[in-house]
Amino acid sequence: MKTTTVPVYAAFFFILVLSVSCHRDSEAPDVAFRRIEMCMESLPDTALYLLKSIPHTEKLRGKLQADYALLLTQAMDRNYVKFTSDSLIALALNYYTVERGDSATRAKAQYYYGRVLRELGKDEEALTFLSSAKEMFGNIQCCKMFAMATDEIGMINRKKKLYQESLENFRESYTIYEELKDSLSLVRAGQNIGRAYLFQNKWDSCYFYYINALALAREKQYSSEVSILHELGILCRSMGELKKSERYFLAAYEKETDEERKYVECMSLGYLYIQMGDVENARKYFKMSINSSKEYTRIDAYNNLYFLEKDIDNFEEAIIYHEKADSIVNVLDEVDSQELITELQKQYENEKLRNDNLQLKVDRTVFIFCGTVIFLIVAFYMCYYYYKSKNHRKKIAEIESQIRDNEEEIKRYQQEMEEIQELKDQVLEENRILEENRMKVGELNGKIVLLSMQNKTLSGLLKELGGELTVGPSSEQYISAFRLLLAIKEGTLRGKLSNGERYKLFSLFDLLYSNYVTRLLDKTPLLTKHDLEICCFLKFGLTNEELARIFQTSSDSVTKAKGRLKGRLGISPQEDLNVFLRDF
């Protein structure tokens, strides 16, 4: 009694400690994961319970999310929970495939992804991941996991009817389990070898491995003893040793604790007794199978009873059993139809969702494409207008320079004419010199006329290019003021404006904007020169930062100055000064 009670209490105490630890470390899931991993081998059901008890697992990210997904998949596999999707283990695989974590963890993620794929019936894909995991476990000399991966590969080969290859796989894992002295895995590997021989009809070798596995399972009191007894019954029945088969099936029936599995043993006994010609026992065990909760087990039981009663000419009972089997089949057909309709509806909804997502993706692609095209067009026109404006400014500068040079030439020619006129008044000069002077004056007048015509032509071209300057006696003053304004705009002006420069600017703005300065003074005679400067610069489109740089002050001071200017101009605080001056 003590030998059984102590391990039970120890296990209970260990579970209690783990539960408390997981709750205490709820803010440190990595610590809880390490403790859960410690009990995964010996207490897989406890590990699964603790993993499902961890709160807010949906908030886990990165390594914690991958560790949780791997541990939960491992616990579900250890507890024989059926996998319906590979999405959980895919989280771990995607994280560890990019060389994160240690080699053992990466290999384990590969292994369990292969296990899940095999459960989902994707054998070829599973074989790829299991083979990769086996190689990785071999490189790091992780013998237990290496043997487990080899077992899985053997089962896939057996399913593909590659019996010799599967036999070699199971023998390889069997050897490793012997070296590790892992009795539970040794029983499983021995049973797999027996099955491989069974499929090849090699009865003696099959019987040898089954008997060894059965002896070890009985010694260690493993639950796999029942399945080995059942398979030994199948083996003996195939060999024609019906009495020995009966002993194994009855032993399996007696030791089976799962009620539903007992009905499977009943069906096997029923088949055996039919072969033995024992109608009463066959009927007895088939009738026991009728109590199964599995519909297909009940159908098989009713059908076997139908054939049994029919063979002994008990047609009334046979018809009853046949009708009962048909009624269950009809119910299943209706359920299958409903499930099919539900599945089709689900497929339709999924397809509709995929189409909607695809349409959204197409719309987004079209939007991005159109946006890109529009951006490129706008960028092209901006570049075009920038270079065009740059060329215009260059041409305007060249024309201004040419006009200035022409005016200087005109002034020089006029000065020469004045000097000649003075010489003309001197009587002492000879007639020949006077004649030459008259010819020279005529030549100078001709040059002045030509330069004046050229300046007129350049003025028209300057106007076409966006310039508003009128060439005349004061054109140099306006050109100088325009250059000064450009220097202010480009930030190349150094120091404050002089009174002369202010006068030039005010004259230029009067010329450009229909007596702009004059109209401002008519509206508000008390405006200072500084106020007029601000008005002109705002009209020209300068920002607060540019004004602060010109006046060598801060942006806040400029803002305050604009506020005072609003008051002098009679503008409400809510109105925009820039808009007012632009429209003035």
Over the chain (584 residues), the average pLDDT of each successive run of 10 is 41 47 53 82 85 84 88 89 89 79 85 92 92 90 90 92 91 91 90 89 90 91 90 90 92 89 89 90 89 87 87 85 86 71 71 76 86 90 82 78 77 66 48 56 54 65 60 55 73 70 77 78 84 85 82 85 87 85 82
The answer to whether domain 142-215 and domain 223-313 are alike in fold is yes
Residue 277 backbone dihedrals phi, psi, to 5 degrees: 80, 15
Q: In CATH, what number does 223-313 get? A: 1.25.40.10
pLDDT of residue 148: 92
pLDDT of residue 467: 59
Are 25 and 31 spatial neighbours (Cβ–Cβ below 8 Å)? yes
pLDDT of residue 12: 47
Q: Could you tell me which CATH class the domain 142-215 is placed in? A: mainly alpha
**Which 8-state DSSP code applies to residue 428?**
T
How far the first Cα of the chain sits from its last, in Å, is: 108
Are 126 and 156 spatial neighbours (Cβ–Cβ below 8 Å)? yes
CA atoms within a 13 Å half-sphere pointing along the CA-CB vector of 157:
21
- How far apart, in Å, are the Cα atoms of 405 and each of 327, 455, 457? 115, 10, 15
> Domain residues of the chain, as ranges?
142-215, 223-313, 351-464, 475-583
